């Protein structure tokens, strides 16, 4: 297993364009998370899935943001009508979550850096 893979690693786009990021989690993991990180800040939670079910999406930053995990494997994060404020690193993570099993350790990918011009 090669860990959590994210694609593309860097995306430069013009304001108003749509962008999509893909995440391939560790295959045995049942949970997949999306985080956003801006300069000088820690990762900020956006949404997460358990298998194919999106269990929380209230932190998605606006209705321009959406995430899917159609078959419970890979996931996509789409940003429509991008704005300059969307420029950030988008991190994907996965974990094997079990009830009463202690700290849920997330394994992160290297991230997809978005630059909106």
Partner 1 sequence: DQQVKQNSPSLSVQEGRISILNCDYTNSMFDYFLWYKKYPAEGPTFLISISSIKDKNEDGRFTVFLNKSAKHLSLHIVPSQPGDSAVYFCAANHAGGTSYGKLTFGQGTILTVHP
How far apart, in whole angstroms, are the C-alpha atoms of residue 86 and residue 105?
Answer: 27
What does residue 60 show for φ and ψ, rounded to 5 degrees? -60, 135
To the nearest 10°, report the CA torsion of 17, 24, 52, 60. Answer: -40
* Of the residues 7, 20, 22, 44, which one makes contact with partner 1 according to CB under 8 A: 44
Q: Binding mask 6-35 vs partner 1 (x if CB under 8 A, - otherwise)?
A: -------------------------x-x--
* Of the residues 45, 64, 66, 76, which one makes contact with partner 1 according to CB under 8 A: 45
Where does this chain touch partner 1 (CB under 8 A) — which range of 11-19, 68-76, 78-86, 108-116? 108-116
- CB–CB of 91/111 below 8 Å? yes
Smallest distance, partner 1 to C-beta of residue 53, A: 10
CA nearest to 5, candidates 114, 78, 93, 68: 93
Smallest distance, partner 1 to C-beta of residue 28, A: 15
Binding site for partner 1 (CB under 8 A): 4, 31, 33, 40-45, 48, 55-56, 91, 93, 95, 97, 102-111
């Amino acid at each position: 297993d090669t860990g959590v893979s994210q694609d593309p690693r860097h995306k430069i786009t013009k304001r108003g364009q749509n962008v999509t990021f893909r995440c391939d989690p560790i295959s045995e993991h049942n949970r997949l998370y999306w985080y956003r990180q801006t300069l000088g800040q820690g990762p900020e939670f956006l949404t997460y899935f358990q298998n194919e079910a999106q269990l929380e999406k209230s932190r998605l930053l606006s209705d321009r943001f959406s995430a899917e995990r159609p078959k419970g494997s890979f996931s996509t994060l789409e940003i429509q009508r991008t704005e300059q404020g969307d420029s950030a690193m988008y991190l994907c993570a996965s974990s094997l979550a079990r009830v009463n099993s202690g700290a849920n350790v997330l394994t992160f990918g290297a991230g997809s850096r978005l630059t909106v011009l």
